[in-house]
Structure 1
Amino acid sequence: MSRTGEIVLGAISAVFTVVAIVALAFIVMSGSAALQDPAVNAELQQEILNNPNLSGQDAEMLAQAFEVLPNAFSAFGWGFIIVLVISLVLNIIGIVAVTKNNKPKLAGVMFILAGLFAGIISITSILLYIAAIMCFVRKSPVQIAEQEY
C-alpha cells in the first residue's frame, strides 16, 4: 500500500514549519533590536506620558513595563522558535516512519505530537492531524496465501 498522501501532507507541513521558523526568527531579531533602541524607547515613553486617558501613576507604570518588554519579547520569541523546531523534528520522524509503509502507527503519533507543538489550530497542525488520521485508518490489504494441493 502506498502512503503517498501521508508523506505529501507531512512534507507540506514541514515546509510551512520551516517558513514559520525563518519568519519568526526574523521578527524576533528585528523586534528585539527595535525595542532595545533608545530612541524608540524614548518616543514610546513620551507617547505614554502625553496620553490624556492615562493618569500620572498609570503612565509611570506603563513606562516601567516598557523597560522589561525587550527581554520578555526575545525570551518568548526564541521559546516559540524552539517549540517549532521540535515540531519540525517530530514531523520528519513521522515522514521517515511512514515511508514504505514501515511504521504507520508510530508516524501517526509523531504527526499528532508535531501538530500539537506547531499550534493547536493552525494550517500546519491541521495537515498533520489529517496525515495522522490517514496513518491510523488506512490498513494494508489482507493477502491470502494460496495453498498448494
Structure 2
Amino acid sequence: MSRTGEIVLGVISAVFTIIAIIGVSFLVVSGSAAFQDEAINAEIQQEILNDPSLTGQDAEMVVQFLDVLPGMFSTFGWGFVVVLVISLVLNIVGIVAVMKNRKPKLAGVMFILAGLFAGIISLTSILLYIAAIMCFVRKAPAQLTDQDEYYKSV
C-alpha cells in the first residue's frame, strides 16, 4: 500500500517549518539589534517621558520595562525557534516511519506531536494532523484466501 499522501503532507509541512525557523530567527536577530540601538531607545524613552497621559511613576515603570524587553524578546524568540526545531525533527521521524508503510501508527503519533509543537492551529499543524489521520485510518487491502476464491467463483 502506498503512503504517498502522508509523505507529501509531511514534506510540505517540513518545508513550512524550515521557512518558519528561518523567519523567526531573522526576526529575533534583527529585533534584538533594534532593541539594543541606543538612539532608538533614547527616542522611545523621551517620548514616554513627554507623554502627558502618563504620570511620572507610570513613565518610569514603562522605561524600566523597556530595559528588560530586549532580553525577554530574545529569550522567547529563541525558545520558539527551539520548539520549531523539535517539531521539524518529529516531522522527519514521522516521514521516515511512514515510508514503505513500515510503521504508520508511529508516524501518526509523530505527526500529531510535530503538529502540536508547530502551533496548535497553523497551516503546518493542520497538514500534519491530516497526515496523522491518514496514517491511522488507511488500512492495507485484505488479501484473498483460497476459500474466498472458491466462494467468489461459485
TM-score with structure 2 setting the length: 0.93
| Residue 145 (structure 1) shift | 3.5
1:36 is matched by which residue type in structure 2?
Q
- Larger-gyration structure (1/2): 2
1:19 is matched by which residue type in structure 2?
I
1:69 is matched by which residue type in structure 2?
L
Alignment partner, residue 122 of structure 1: 122
C-alpha separation in 2, matches of 1:112 and 1:24: 22
C-alpha separation in 2, matches of 1:44 and 1:97: 52
C-alpha separation in 2, matches of 1:72 and 1:95: 35
- Equivalenced residues, count: 147
1:64 is matched by which residue type in structure 2?
Q
Write out per-residue CA displacement over residues 36-65 of structure 1, whole angstroms, 9 at most, x where no aligned residue: 111111111111111122111101100000
| Pair 1:25-2:25 in alignment | yes
Alignment RMSD: 0.9
| Pair 1:75-2:44 in alignment | no
Write out per-residue CA displacement over residues 9-41 of structure 1, whole angstroms, 9 at most, x where no aligned residue: 000000000000000000000000110111111
C-alpha separation in 2, matches of 1:82 and 1:94: 18
Alignment partner, residue 39 of structure 2: 39
* Structure 1 gaps, min length 5: none
1:26 is matched by which residue type in structure 2?
F
Alignment partner, residue 85 of structure 1: 85
Alignment partner, residue 100 of structure 1: 100
1:42 is matched by which residue type in structure 2?
A
What SS does the corresponding residue of 2:146 show, helix, strand or coil?
coil
1:122 is matched by which residue type in structure 2?
S
Alignment partner, residue 12 of structure 2: 12
| Pair 1:52-2:52 in alignment | yes
C-alpha separation in 2, matches of 1:79 and 1:4: 33
TM-score with structure 1 setting the length: 0.96
* Structure 2 gaps, min length 5: 148-154
Residue identity over aligned pairs, in percent, reads 76
